Amino acid sequence: MIRKFGILVFSFCLLAALSISLGVSVKAEDHADPDVTYKYFKSIRVESGDTLWSIAQEYCSEEYPSLDYYMKELVSMNHLDNEYIQAGQFITVPYYSNEYIR
């Protein structure tokens, strides 16, 4: 009788531990923020017909307050004297992504 009671108590404790473990795992996944974005940088080659404006339109995203702000960042980070670029030149562009790259 005592042995059956011990097995019953052990089974109950094991079931409770598994339930708690599963609950914590599910809660951790619920708290993952899908809206987290990461800022990355990429070097691109300026093609014939590209302008800083067209590149900014392609890479600017909602993380920037305006296209003008993004263009100013491009000029600054690439040490440009003005907004003019030429084919064959390489520039670094920032962009945001939801993917975390290690």
Please give the pLDDT value at position 31.
52
Q: What's the pLDDT band for 3 if we cut at 50, 70, 90?
A: confident
Please give the pLDDT value at position 28.
47
* pTM assigned to the model: 0.64
Taking Cα atoms as reference points, which of 35, 58, 43, 46 lies closest to residue 84?
A: 46
User: Tokens 């909602």 identify what position?
Assistant: 62
Start-to-end C-alpha separation, the chain? 57
Segment 47-88, tens digit of pLDDT: 999 999 999 999 999 999 999 999 999 999 999 999 999 999
CB 78 within 8 A of CB 43: no
Q: What's the pLDDT band for 7 if we cut at 50, 70, 90?
A: confident
The residues spanned by each domain of the chain are 1-32, 38-97
User: Tokens 């052990």 identify what position?
Assistant: 10
CATH number of 38-97: 3.10.350.10
What's the gap between Cα 6 and its chain centre?
A: 50
